[in-house]
Chains A and B, each alone.
Chain A
Amino acid sequence: MSLTKDDVRKIAFLARIRVPEERLEPMAGELNNIVGWVEQLAEVNTDGVEPMTSVVETETPLRADVITQRAISDKILANAPDGEGSFFAVPKVVE
């Protein structure tokens, strides 16, 4: 399977990364090299093999279901590029 320029445009939108028009073709080449290389995994027989879901087998401890942090909205907003009051501000999304 080979990625086209249009595929790259579509993936770039999925990833919300603006790739300039003139970079789409070279990027398709670069991604195809990488994808072509990882496709060698197809030759590995993985019948009946479970995909790894946990790196180290261990029990996940439960914590008490209590509030540990409150009234930290000023800290959360401290790095916001744009905000009003205790809100993040974004471009208008509803007409």
Chain B
Amino acid sequence: MSDLRDWTIASAADALTKGETSSVELTDAFIEAIEANRSLNAFITETPELARHRAAESDARRASGDAKGPMDGVPIAMKDLFCTEGVRTTAASHILDNFVPTYESTVSGKLRDAGAVMLGKTNLDEFAMGSANITSYFGSVKNPWTPEGANADLVPGGSSGGSVAAVAGGLAIAATGTDTGGSIRQPASFTGLVGMKPTYGRCSRWGTIAFASSLDQAGPLTRTVEDAAIMLQAMAGHDPKDSTSLPIDLPDFRSACTTDVKGLRVGIPDEYTLDSMPAEIQKLWDQGAQWFKGMGAEVKPVTLPHTKYALPAYYIVAPAEASSNLSRYDGVRYGLRVPGDSLDEMYELTRGEGFGEEVQRRVLIGAYVLSAGYYDAYYVKAQKVRTLIAQDFKKAFADVDVILTPTAPSAAFAKGEKMDDPIAMYLNDVFTVPASLAGLPAISVPGGLDANGLPLGLQLITRVCQEETLFRAASALEAAANFTARPGDAS
């Protein structure tokens, strides 16, 4: 089969409908690619037999005229944070490395019901805590992109690093991700993909292993904006089992993917200019604004005065919620147990051995900021700052329809960089965290390459529940950028 990276969800759906290929044929090709590219370490658990079985079911449905829609028969990868019935689900943690759920998460179940073929469970940062996919118990993930003229292994970004490596490397047509502070958008930017975080509550969190419940959102990682729309349609929707899932009907996302942005008001936030940012990122951002102008959009400056405080607020709220969520890993009901003489000792030894360094650090920070005497000074303060950040966006969106920013302050970096200093690593998410704190939908679209031939993404943010506006603007940006580069092109 030709270059597997040519496939999109839309083109696969089309080929399947016309009978030009079968789901089994497609699935087999991707299984072969996965087996040939294990050096990327994109998957924690491969599920080839399950995939072939579901592909055969899809082909049978199609043969009898019961094909379900554009996801039916399409081979995808599943981030190993979504519980999958009968398939080991680890969150890339030692503490869950033997956990086999007896239930299916709502998001993975919806994709299964739409006919998507799951190829396996992808690697991630442990409990989705990280921006480089270097904290996984199952080893780091390699970015399929390499810098021009050099032989360094680059990180794929994180936490959805295995998902983006799988799609960018041609091991799946699309993949699921989750985004708490940028874990879909930043890795998409590092690998030349489209990564979309919908409005908080669009996708049910039920059965998705929790990191920070007021921030966690699932979303698609795809090659095109249209694919993101198709896949989100299958993943999203109200779920009675998640009380924060939005009880509203879904619009037709795919039909929103027009490139007509005439009169669209695009805001450029002053505060997103960083001194430390490479000139090429500033240049690409300026270019993005020019593209929108050229297509008839109105580009104007906006101000988001509390941007600077988003990251520190996030690093109080997210660890606080994580310390509470991760208290369930106690060696009693599931997962690892390290025996101890008392119940407390059993807890301490289990969690001391089961959690990696970064997870421990965040749980400890969370326990500290929630502890007696500090709760108001840290947690309540951070939640107040969060209100101010949401208000900043609300005011800006009185003047503009979307906000355009870079997705990340750098291109993919080498493994080993930024590893000694947690805060330097946290700064990766400086442009993605504000929208997360405000619950806003945001998307990263590949914009171009830097001087080393590495992809750079641009981010669009819009109002709550205005995903259609986002898909329209992103489709226009995608058309203007015309990003066709692929890993390995340059070297």
Interface residues of A (CB under 8 A from B): 3, 7-8, 11-20, 27, 30-31, 33-35, 37-42, 44, 46, 49-53, 55-56, 58-61, 63, 72, 75-76, 78-82, 88, 90-91, 93
B346 contacts the other chain (CB 8 A)? yes
Question: Quick check: B334 and A31 within 8 Å, CB to CB?
Answer: no
Say yes or no: B388 contacts A3, CB within 8 Å: no
The residues of B that contact A76 with a CB separation of less than 8 Å are 102, 333
The interface of chain B, by Cβ under 8 A from chain A, is 98-103, 199-201, 214-215, 240, 243-244, 246-248, 306, 309, 312-313, 315-316, 323, 327, 330-337, 339-349, 351-353, 355, 360-361, 363-368, 371, 378, 380-388, 390, 421-423, 438-439, 464-465
Are B365 and A31 in contact, CB atoms less than 8 angstroms apart? yes
Query: Nearest chain B CB to A51's CB is how many angstroms away?
Result: 3
Report yes or no: A91 in contact with B340, Cβ–Cβ below 8 A: yes
Q: Secondary structure of the A side of the interface?
A: loop
Q: Judging by beta carbons under 8 Å apart, are A11 and B422 in contact?
A: no
Shortest CB distance B335–A (Å): 7
Distance in angstroms between the alpha carbons of A50 and B385 in the assembled complex: 9
In order of increasing CB-CB distance, the 7 nearest A-B pairs are A18-B352, A51-B383, A79-B334, A55-B439, A81-B337, A75-B102, A18-B348
* Known contacts A44-B306, A80-B334: A49-B240 contact under CB 8 Å: no
Inter-subunit contact A16/B382 (CB<8 Å): no
User: Is A44's CB under 8 angstroms from B385's CB?
Assistant: yes
Compute how far the CA of A50 lies from the CA of B381 in the bound complex, rounded to whole angstroms: 10
CB contact under 8 A between A35 and B368, given known A44-B388, A50-B387, A52-B387: yes
A30 and B387 contact, Cβ closer than 8 Å, known pairs A11-B364, A42-B381, A79-B335: no
Q: Which of B334, B337, B339, B364 has the most CB of A within 10 A?
A: B364
Shortest CB-to-CB span from A61 to chain B, Å, is 5
Find chain B residues with CB under 8 A from A39 CB: 312
Complex contact B309–A40 (CB within 8 A) = yes
Contact partner of A41 among B200, B313, B465, CB < 8 A?
Answer: B313
Contact indicator B361/A30 (Cβ below 8 Å): yes
Min distance, Cβ B293 to any Cβ of chain A, angstroms: 32
Q: Is the CB of A56 within 8 A of B355?
A: no
Partner of B423, one of A12, A37, A41, A90: A37
Q: Do B388 and A91 have beta carbons less than 8 Å apart?
A: no
Is A90 touching B388 in the complex (CB atoms < 8 A)?
no
Given contacts A17-B363, A91-B339, 15 further A-B contacts (CB under 8 A): A14-B367, A15-B351, A15-B363, A16-B344, A17-B364, A18-B353, A33-B422, A37-B315, A42-B381, A46-B388, A49-B387, A55-B201, A56-B465, A81-B331, A91-B345
- Bound Cα distance A20, B357 (Å): 12
- Bound form: Cα–Cα A9–B239 in Å: 41
Q: Which residues of B contact A56 (CB under 8 A)?
A: 199-201, 244, 246, 439, 464-465
Q: Which of chain B's residues have a CB closer than 8 A to the CB of A51?
A: 380, 383-384, 386-387
From known contacts A81-B335, A90-B332, infer whether A16 and B102 are also in contact, taking CB-CB under 8 Å.
no
Contact residues in A for B347 (Cβ distance below 8 Å): 16
The residue of chain A having its C-beta at the shortest distance from the C-beta of B329 within the complex is A16
**Complex contact B200–A55 (CB within 8 A):** yes
B202 CB to nearest A CB, Å: 9
Query: Does A61 lie within 8 Å of B247, measured CB to CB?
Result: yes
Cα(A39)–Cα(B365), bound, Å? 13
CA distance A95 to B247 in the complex (A): 50
CA A91 to CA B388, docked complex, whole Å: 47
Q: How far is the CB of B93 from chain A (nearest CB, A)?
A: 13
Are A8 and B364 interface neighbours, CB within 8 A? yes
B384:A49 contact, CB within 8 angstroms: yes
A-B contact pairs, 29 of them (CB 8 A): A7-B368, A13-B348, A16-B330, A16-B347, A16-B348, A17-B363, A18-B348, A18-B351, A18-B352, A37-B312, A38-B312, A38-B382, A39-B312, A41-B313, A41-B316, A41-B381, A49-B388, A51-B386, A55-B215, A55-B244, A60-B244, A76-B102, A78-B102, A79-B99, A79-B102, A79-B333, A81-B335, A88-B333, A91-B340
